[in-house]
Amino acid sequence: MNAIYILWLRQIKRYLRSKARIIGALGQPILFFVAFGFGFGPVFQKAGSGNYLEFLGPGIIAMSIVFTAMFSGIEVIWDRQFGFLKETLVAPVSRFNIMLGRTLDGATVAVIQGVVVLILAMLIGFRIQNYWLLPLAFVFMFLIAIFFTALGTAIASRLVDNQAFPLIMNFVVMPLFFLSGALFPLEGVPAGIEWAAKLDPLTYGVDGLRGLLENQYFFNLSIDFTVLVLAALALVALGSWLFSKIEV
């Protein structure tokens, strides 16, 4: 457990020192809030669907968590190239503990980024309807972060080229994001898109966040929580197995 804590603390300190990284990660959420929130807001309101900025907010918060969590996986490739991973793996610590420490620190950093985006969204005009459910919203944010940090680590464990990682990440993440209902309601969409959304774990994370923050559910809280927990556990198990096969 000490190894997990040390890895976790080391990565968080490194991230918090990198002000450029924190500020740079806000560029995409701001663009989405401005371009989509204010651009499509009048159309969304005329369609009788309410305030689009409040609908969009949970999806953009989830997006910031997803991309921050996934990019933590590239550190596996960097550590392999610069020799740090070899030094870590020869330590008298199980690879599962190393993987778990990396997953926890990546997820914690992603949640911090999500909280920053939430504050930014509130400054722009996003309003939380249920403040007393905010702690549960943080739980959903952490589960989303765990899932995608483990996914990023699983992908990075099979790669040696750091230039290939962003390409594969976009190939995997972008469909999951756009099919999750982050940008549009899932009610009334074609049956194929609805079924694809139901197979997307991020859909349940976005739906849980939107329900807790805005009281708007497509499924319900228990389904969202159950699916997200099972998906996170499955990816941690897969990531741990792939990480244990790394050769340096």
pLDDT in tens, 153-191: 888 877 777 777 778 888 888 899 999 988 888 888 888
For residues 123 and 135, give the distance between their C-alpha atoms in angstroms, rounded to a whole number. Answer: 20
Provide, rounded to the nearest whole percent, the portion of the chain with pLDDT above 70.
80
Is residue 2 exposed (0-12), middle (13-18) or buried (19+ Cβ within 10 Å)? exposed
Provide, rounded to the nearest whole percent, the portion of the chain with pLDDT above 90.
23
- pLDDT for the residue 222: 92
Beta carbons of 201 and 224 less than 8 angstroms apart: no
- pLDDT for the residue 3: 47
- pLDDT for the residue 143: 94
If one counts the domains in the chain, the total is: 1
Residue in this structure with the two tokens 């939430």, named with its chain if needed:
118
Tally DSSP H helices, then E strands, for the chain.
13, 0
**Residues 48-75 pLDDT 10s:** 667 788 888 899 999 989 988 888 777 7
Provide the residue range defining the domain that includes 181: 2-244
For residues 23 and 162, give the distance between their C-alpha atoms in angstroms, rounded to a whole number. Answer: 22
Element (H, E) at 4: helix 2-17
Is the pLDDT reported for residue 29 higher than 60? yes
For residues 172 and 167, give the distance between their C-alpha atoms in angstroms, rounded to a whole number. Answer: 9
Is the pLDDT reported for residue 17 higher than 70? no
Distance, C-alpha 77 to centroid of its chain: 20
Nearest C-alpha neighbor of 93 from the set 154, 207, 211, 6? 6
**Residues 108-136 pLDDT 10s:** 888 988 998 898 888 888 888 888 899 99
Classify the C-alpha dihedral 220-222-223-226 as positive or negative. positive
